[in-house]
Amino acid sequence: MRILALGDTHGRSAWKQHIEKQNPDKIIFIGDYFDNGNIQAHDQRHNFEDIIELKKSRPDDVILILGNHDLHYLIDEEYSGYQWQEAPVIEKLLRDNINLLQWAHSQNGFLFTHAGVTKSWCKNNGIVQGEDIAEQINQLPTHAFRFVGDSFYGDDIIASPVWVRPRSLAQDKIDDWTLVVGHTRQENIDPTNNKTAIFIDAIEKGQALVITTKKGEVNFETSQL
């Protein structure tokens, strides 16, 4: 299986080129579909609508993870980049398609979330680590993912899977999973350079992650535009 994991899009349409280039069996968007000061709001909306159409055309092959820049249109919180004037339209887009969106996805020993999963957050939310961890996370109410902790940046071990930052994730990450996350910008995707997680927030740099699994073997490559 050939899996294409795409970092935070923030209204960018480069995902289309990565899909065309890689022809993947599975496509995983890591969240943050909105909030980009360099892209017009209507273009952000149209880009998200295109992503939704892709999901509808390939419902089993496309996974749409939610990020913090999507969450703040669903709850009473506003983070950086929040688009006040566009908020009602974005909220409706998200709510109209909420059945197509999720917080986590697990496959072949990989756990995909926007920012990562800590033991402390799992404990505080009644999540038991096991094979069905993604299913448990997806069943939680939206407010379970809101901002918590003392760090304005989200750098706290109790932070949710849409907020926790690499330093805190390194301290308290869950066991037995290879985490694939976005949320924190990267200059390059390097799946072999960090024991904490594979950080893929590099669409801005023209990069996405390709994971190939075959007969028990796993290989990584970077899709570069």
Task: Provide the pLDDT for residue 35.
Answer: 97
Q: In angstroms, rounded to a whole number, what is the distance separating the alpha carbons of residues 214 and 135? A: 25
CA 184 to chain centre: 11
Mean pLDDT of all residues in 214-218:
88
Phi then psi for 107, rounded to 5 degrees? -165, 130
How confident is the model over 13-63, as pLDDT tens digits?
Answer: 999 999 999 999 999 999 999 999 999 999 999 999 999 999 999 999 999
Mean pLDDT of all residues in 184-204:
92
How confident is the model over 94-116, as pLDDT tens digits?
Answer: 999 999 999 999 999 999 999 99
> pLDDT tier at 131 (50, 70, 90 boundaries)?
confident
Q: In angstroms, rounded to a whole number, what is the distance separating the alpha carbons of residues 44 and 39? A: 7
- Percentage, residues of the chain above pLDDT 90: 90
H/E stretch holding 111 reads strand 110-112
What's the length of the chain? 225
Q: Three-state SS string across 10-46, please?
A: CCCCHHHHHHHHHCCCEEEECCCCCCCCCCCHHHHHH
Tell me, what amino acid is at 77? E
Q: Which domains does the chain have, with CATH numbers?
A: 2-224 (3.60.21.10)
Q: In angstroms, rounded to a whole number, what is the distance separating the alpha carbons of residues 62 and 51? A: 9
Structure tokens at 36: 């980009």
Task: Provide the pLDDT for residue 47.
Answer: 98
Q: Are residues 26 and 63 in contact, defined by beta-carbon separation less than 8 angstroms?
A: yes
Q: Are residues 12 and 47 in contact, defined by beta-carbon separation less than 8 angstroms?
A: yes
| Nearest partner of 69 among 27, 11, 123, 151, judged by Cα | 11
